[in-house]
Structure 1
Amino acid sequence: MSKQDSDKPVIAPFTGPAGGWGSVRSLAEILPREKIKPETLRELGRQNKPDGFMCVSCAWPKPADHHPFEFCEEGAKATAWELTTLRSTPDFFAEHSLSDLRRWSDYELEQHGRLTHPLRYDEASDRYQACSWEEAFEGIGAVLRSLDPKSVVFYSSGRASLEASYMYALMARMFGNQNLPDSSNMCHESTSVGLKAAIGVPVGTTRLEDFQHCDAILFFGQNVGSNAPRMLHDLRACRKRGVEIITFNPLKERGLERFTDPQNPIEMTTLGETAISTQYHQVKAGGDLAAMMGIAKYLVEWDDAARDAREPPVLDHDFIGQHTTGFPELAAAIRSASWEDIEHQSGLAKRDLEDAARVYARSKAVMIVYGMGLTQHVKGVENVRMVVNLLLMRGNIGKAGAGPTPVRGHSNVQGQRTVGITEKTELVPVEKLEAQYGFTAPRAKGLDTVESCRGVIDGSVKAFVALGGNFLRAVPETGPMEASWTNLDLSVQIATKLNRNHLFPGKATYLLPCLGRIEEDVQATGPQAVSVEDSTSCIHGSRGKATPASPHLLSEPAIVAELAKQILPLNPKVDWDVWVADYSRIRDAIEQTYPEVFQDFNERLFTPGGFWKGNKASERIWQTPTKKAEFLVPSGLSATGFADLPGRYRLVTLRSNDQFNTTIYGYHDRFRGVKGTRDVLFMNAEDMAQAGLSEGQHVALESDAGDGRVRRKEGLIVTCYDIPRGCLGAYYPECNVLIPVEHHAEQSHVPAAKSVPVRIAF
């Protein structure tokens, strides 16, 4: 799609289901646009198969019993995007200055194709120029060796393999810091903090097979149709056997309404479809906490009544007494919460919450599936703790078909934490690393994403090394971050394609092109495989076989190794070259550091369905200070962290079904009926009337954070949409400019992008 196409927006309701012929047509459009080769079709046949490669987009599990085509629309787009034959060569950069390229859209930048050569920024010409790998590594090493290690940030995207992530984390700690922010800081850190405090593990307790044993699923703040479409197969199977699915989400998302299985010939030929949600409640942004309190209030009231009538209890008192602490305090808070406040904060009627509570009360095994609609709020950690509260009340952790099911975004973002990508000392076996590699590891907490942004803005961060990602585009406070980036002494970007972060150079800047996961990675001992952890804590092998985009690319492990050799003293206990020659040696090292998780790592690498790393909470072993699962009394009923005022709205930033994170595949958000633009403001009809706005009118949004700073997004097209009153929807990352860096989740520091205080301006 050209820039001209994006200037001709069409906004009209979409009436079809998720999946179906819409997905087929979407793929038929993107595959030729990426000018794919026949081997791309071959690779699609290997995607998410036991001996194939793990999808480079979402982290949904790779099943043992796979479909003939084990990829979704979004996953196929990601594969075509990576295996495109389009190229961004040195000649392209000779033609375009960075000033010119900053006028390009996110889509146009990445759509130009794969990077082919290492590049160095030349300030005099304002252009990237090709350089040798030796020149790049020596230049990077010279700057890093001159800096205080505490002033350097090592960021990683969730796509990096376990092998590359382990090496990267080790390099940072041997260099002298734990400044290891990653994608998790921007999305599910609220999960890691909340679940760890409540049940002793930082991840969900369910596995793929639990979908076969549950009899109810509660969904909160997760758009499965765009973010994890392969889950729809599991949800469809649940519905076919009568499982009730209750959804809480501000917008009606098509994937949670209706689904046509593209791999079911009968449904495709008859245009049949499966209704997914049995109840759909459009909770206000930030109102999930109140909705969950409402369900809990019914459970407690019914349990009190049953006790008085000498009837069977509603709550699992045996489980609560044996396995938990803190329930009396929570029960008291639940009883004292008023229905008026619950209805006001949730935006839902009492009777709707009663309907949901009745299903929960009669179900024997319940999963609660959630996404960033819970985690990206000021009270995001409390949202996660309230999920746990609901599950604990009826013993829905530690049995088949039950438990918290956070849906991670990027394909290995959870696994990176497993092998040491974290700023927190307590999450890493530092003593074991010291003994294994003969160095003194830092103990001081490192910088997370929010703290890294503060450091870039105030100048205390001097260098930024990025293992993938598009950090500047993903984080809040876009304006000050872009303005401050040029003050960095060094910016290093390891990437497959050009993105907006690359257009803001530091004083020294290098762009290092790497192999993609789907491409064949041949080292001294032959073709290599890597490993990835999915959302359900299963570890999978991934083997690329596609022809690399350029003979000048290096793998991520090779790049990390060369950087380490430049910035670290020789260490006889770490042979970076041996690791790069044979990735199985990296896995041996990982197993030595984490033997309880990675026992027989290489032997189990390609286990169909992956091998599970284990989860103590799923065994009802609680690794908390009290050795029990802990209830929490929430501090209030709203997760937004700000008050509702006249003219102030709650902005929800959204992803379209034509994007993955900051990667924009096109300008067609099919499910919301938007084509040709991303400058859309979704708004309730009554709010439009009250504000005197009309369909198609162009407006601006301004941040209403109360800190005196001007943050503004221009040119949004007002669009009437089914969204709760007082709430607005607009696309991410374009609206990150409106999010203050200090508008983040308490405790976890996740940017609170799902309830941003804004006002409409002209």
Structure 2
Amino acid sequence: MKESDTTRDYPYASGGWGSLKAVTTILAQEHVSVKDSAALRKQNKPDGFMCVSCSWAKPADPHVFEFCESGAKATAWDLTSKRMTPEFFQLHTVTELLSWHDHDLEEAGRLTAPLRYDPATDKYVQVEWQQAFDEIGRELNQLDPDSVVFYASGRASLETSYMYQLFARMYGTNNLPDSSNMCHESTSVGLKEAIGVGVGTITLEDFEKTDLMFFFGQNVGTNSPRMLHQLQDARKRGVPIITFNPLREPGLVRFANPQSPVQMLTPDNTQISTQYHQLKTGGDTAAILGICKAVIAADDLAIEQARPRVIDVDFIREHTTGYEAFANYAREASWADIEKVSGLPREAIEAAANEYMKANAVMIHYGMGLTQHRLGVQNVRMVCNLLFLRGNIGKPGAGPSPVRGHSNVQGQRTVGITEKPELAPLDKLASQFSFEPPRKKGLNTVEAFEAMLKGEVKGVFNLGGNLVRSVPDRLRIEPAWRGLRLNVNVATKLNRSHLVHGEISYILPCLSRIEIDRQASGEQAVSMEDSTACMHGSHGVAEPASENIRSEPYIVAGIAKATLGTRFNVDWDAWRDDYSVVRDEIAKTYPEIFHDFNQRMWTPGGFHKPLPASQRQWKTKSGKAEFLVPKALGEDPDMPEREPDALRLMTLRSDSQFNTTIYGLDDRFRGVQGSRMVVLMNPDDMAASGLSEGDKIGLQTIADDGFDRRVSGFAVKAYDIPRGCIAGYYPECNPLLPLWHYAEESKVPGAKSIPVRIVDKPGAQASA
């Protein structure tokens, strides 16, 4: 790659004309009609559809355009006029399609008919819907239920998810992993242990009452840009925002509101971060401990000088346990160790602590930069420790704010998508539907692939997603995936997981949430939960891409009926025809959350799930909020850097990407154009390695497990990132991530901290 292709840094504020141009470009690229593009005005509105990408909160009083650049790209991607008809598949073998770039596979258009893999021709061929349902049912009934995995991406609605988990359990398994296993399971475990609920406690109203915000490992500019509106309003009120992030990201620096004439027509923009600390990758526990240490030291001094206390003594005494052990650990921790591991000087950490001690209400936003580490659960617990010190939970304007990336990944867990039987209301389901649910723990995503490598998994049902592409250790996983007896894929577009097929493989095209869903009882609506635990209704506004695609509830109901027959007292046809019947059953299973579901789902701004922690009621083992003494400051206890020139790789997404969906090969915020095979590196590390801008290198994982994990062909790009740390794109770097390199307790893949070495340097072969 030429230097000119990779070094055009983005000098502007996020948002602004850059976002407007990007939205216009994607609409033209996907040949979205003027009529269909009008759907954007209904996005995230009470009378429209909830965004199919991120799950950021939907306000009761929305903006005129309540969508961001990323959401507009996701909508254009679904509303494209391009089609992949059965005739397309007659022209292309699966072997040929495997050679296509991931972007090109999805960019070719919407799927229009159900397809079955034909090994004789190496092509997907059209089948009738009932034929597909019947054969899938027969195959499932010939497999041991515990050898089948029911995976769900975060896109499926509450109604579909409830039906899906019930089907899987009636079939006989708790193998119900989902995309949260890959990202925020560390949150579900860590917050549950610390405060008794596995989700954040803040709402949009808290933004109006907060005095200070922290960001840890969450790039709002590309992952949840609509949140920038709340941040901009807070900054106008003078609220400080303190960011800890290894890369200097434009979306966390400054923002120009595309809906503000002043900011669009002048150089005006809003500074987002008032402090920006570029800590080392994996240095979050150390940085948070440093803030806590400074707060506790100030409190100790206040006691000594008989001044008002710095910590919230009443909150800690009445509502927490474990404070003294944690405080002693913080007192004894050395600043030298904290500085070394975090990569930050003491003065920077104390500057953040000083702002924290001045604020009365503080919220902490975080993303996968905290959760996708070996000690990801500990990172979440450290966020809680910091909040507990000054009582920043259970009061307006304060609390933990994990920012979920997928549109309903949080809601799926709420209605039973979980491999952990203790988190599902199995007794209630047993009574409600007169069957005995399985009580054995199911497989999460990592465990499912561990079992697949052993030959123990025979079937995978993919409710959305691109699991083969998103999983760690892909070069080991793909051969095992090909050994499956059955894989069923529900999707809107073709992706890699459909092409790395099993013996029997189906692609079942589904409606997008944006499209009108017509069933026997009329047009249907669905619902989902956002990052702030609010439930929203959603109904499509665009005509379906084809008359021969079906809704997700229709597909789940059809396969469930074909598999289970009349063995259980569920009228799958009635559920398929009228989703309000499904919501009535959800309300019976979860009356505390979903009472009067059909009426309340249209509440402006959504209705909130009860969260005891927000009322300072702690459903923990001790009955109180629990401090944690960290086990280590360093990120990776079982995979240390064993050589002086080792680098720590973090994977990241571009501004033209949502999860594994690639809208384009450019990343304008980071100055990358035309390729995703790029490694961002500190200029001093480049010089020490004898590398220049644009040089091609390979990366090899440092691990002693007998597998040579390496990826070649990366172009080096100088970037503002701490020394010893590098960054590359997901999923291109996934082959470098060992399947066993996951977070303790949660098993979230440790994608943000992979020790690697540089191989295949330019001139290495010549000199050898």
* Bin of the TM-score, shorter chain as denominator length: over 0.9
Cα deviation 1:60-92 (Å, max 9, x = unaligned): 011111110000000000000001010111111
1:308 counterpart residue number: 304
Partner letter of residue 657 of structure 2? Answer: Q
Runs of 4+ in 1 over 4 A off after TM superposition: 5-8
Alpha-carbon separation, structure 2, partners of 1:91 and 1:7: 42
- Where 2:427 maps in the other structure, the secondary structure is helix
1:230 counterpart residue number: 226
Q: CA deviation at 1:705?
A: 2.1
Higher mean displacement: 636-645 or 111-120: 636-645
Higher mean displacement: 565-574 or 65-74: 565-574
Alpha-carbon separation, structure 1, partners of 2:196 and 2:531: 17
Alpha-carbon separation, structure 2, partners of 1:679 and 1:11: 14
Q: Does 2:640 align with 1:643?
A: yes
The partner residue of 2:263 within 238, 243, 267 is 267
Q: Structure 1 residues 7, 586: closer, same or farther in 2, change over 3 A?
A: farther
Q: What does 1:112-151 correspond to in 2, within 5 Å?
A: 112-151=108-147
Q: CA deviation at 1:11?
A: 3.1
Alpha-carbon separation, structure 2, partners of 1:650 and 1:566: 49
Partner letter of residue 232 of structure 2? Answer: R
The partner residue of 1:718 within 716, 719, 744 is 716
2:493 counterpart residue number: 497
Q: Does 2:621 align with 1:625?
A: yes
Q: CA deviation at 1:572?
A: 5.7
1:734 counterpart residue number: 732
Cα deviation 1:109-135 (Å, max 9, x = unaligned): 000000001000011111101111122
Q: Structure 1 residues 143, 27: closer, same or farther in 2, change over 3 A?
A: same
Alpha-carbon separation, structure 2, partners of 1:7 and 1:681: 13
Q: Normalising by structure 2, report the TM-score.
A: 0.98
Q: Does 2:653 align with 1:655?
A: yes
1:563 counterpart residue number: 559
Alpha-carbon separation, structure 1, partners of 2:676 and 2:600: 44
The partner residue of 1:487 within 483, 486, 501 is 483
Q: What does 1:441-590 correspond to in 2, within 5 Å?
A: 441-571=437-567, 573-590=569-586
Give structure 1 stretches of 5+ with no counterpart.
Answer: none
The partner residue of 1:12 within 8, 29, 36 is 8
Cα deviation 1:214-270 (Å, max 9, x = unaligned): 010010000000000000000000000000000000000111001000000111011
Higher mean displacement: 31-40 or 382-391: 31-40
2:667 counterpart residue number: 669
- Where 1:725 maps in the other structure, the secondary structure is coil
Q: Does 2:49 align with 1:53?
A: yes
Q: Structure 1 residues 534, 33: closer, same or farther in 2, change over 3 A?
A: same
Q: Over the residues paired in the alignment, what is the CA RMSD in angstroms?
A: 1.2
Is the contact between residue 9 and residue 668 of structure 2 (CA under 8 Å) also seen in structure 1? no
1:692 counterpart residue number: 690
Cα deviation 1:510-569 (Å, max 9, x = unaligned): 000001100000001100000010000000000002100000001000100011111114
- Where 1:505 maps in the other structure, the secondary structure is coil
2:763 counterpart residue number: none
- Where 2:207 maps in the other structure, the secondary structure is helix
Q: What does 1:250-329 correspond to in 2, within 5 Å?
A: 250-329=246-325
Q: Does 2:326 align with 1:330?
A: yes
Q: Does 2:211 align with 1:215?
A: yes
Is the contact between residue 134 and residue 563 of structure 2 (CA under 8 Å) also seen in structure 1? no
Is the contact between residue 7 and residue 677 of structure 1 (CA under 8 Å) also seen in structure 2? no
What percent identity do the matched residue pairs reach? 58
Alpha-carbon separation, structure 2, partners of 1:148 and 1:238: 54
Q: CA deviation at 1:692?
A: 1.1
Higher mean displacement: 170-179 or 645-654: 645-654
Q: CA deviation at 1:38?
A: 2.2
Q: CA deviation at 1:708?
A: 2.1
Is the contact between residue 530 and residue 583 of structure 1 (CA under 8 Å) also seen in structure 2? yes
Q: Structure 1 residues 556, 384: closer, same or farther in 2, change over 3 A?
A: same
Q: Does 2:63 align with 1:64?
A: no
Alpha-carbon separation, structure 2, partners of 1:649 and 1:80: 38
Q: CA deviation at 1:460?
A: 0.3
Q: Does 2:730 align with 1:749?
A: no
Alpha-carbon separation, structure 2, partners of 1:504 and 1:138: 23
Alpha-carbon separation, structure 2, partners of 1:46 and 1:279: 36
Partner letter of residue 613 of structure 1? Answer: K
Q: Structure 1 residues 572, 504: closer, same or farther in 2, change over 3 A?
A: closer
Partner letter of residue 640 of structure 2? Answer: A
Count of aligned pairs between the two proteins: 758
1:705 counterpart residue number: 703
- Where 1:247 maps in the other structure, the secondary structure is strand
Q: What does 1:23-422 correspond to in 2, within 5 Å?
A: 23-422=19-418
Partner letter of residue 745 of structure 1? Answer: A
- Where 2:282 maps in the other structure, the secondary structure is coil
Alpha-carbon separation, structure 1, partners of 2:741 and 2:381: 20
Partner letter of residue 575 of structure 2? Answer: W
Give structure 2 stretches of 5+ with no counterpart.
Answer: 761-768
Alpha-carbon separation, structure 2, partners of 1:8 and 1:588: 58
Q: CA deviation at 1:39?
A: 2.6
Alpha-carbon separation, structure 2, partners of 1:214 and 1:727: 33
Partner letter of residue 20 of structure 2? Answer: V
Alpha-carbon separation, structure 2, partners of 1:8 and 1:514: 41
Is the contact between residue 492 and residue 509 of structure 1 (CA under 8 Å) also seen in structure 2? yes
Is the contact between residue 702 and residue 761 of structure 1 (CA under 8 Å) also seen in structure 2? yes
- Where 1:675 maps in the other structure, the secondary structure is coil
- Where 1:668 maps in the other structure, the secondary structure is coil
Partner letter of residue 54 of structure 1? Answer: M
Partner letter of residue 542 of structure 2? Answer: A
The partner residue of 2:603 within 607, 611, 628 is 607
Partner letter of residue 733 of structure 1? Answer: P
Q: CA deviation at 1:282?
A: 0.3
Q: Normalising by structure 1, report the TM-score.
A: 0.99
Alpha-carbon separation, structure 2, partners of 1:706 and 1:389: 35
Alpha-carbon separation, structure 2, partners of 1:453 and 1:253: 33
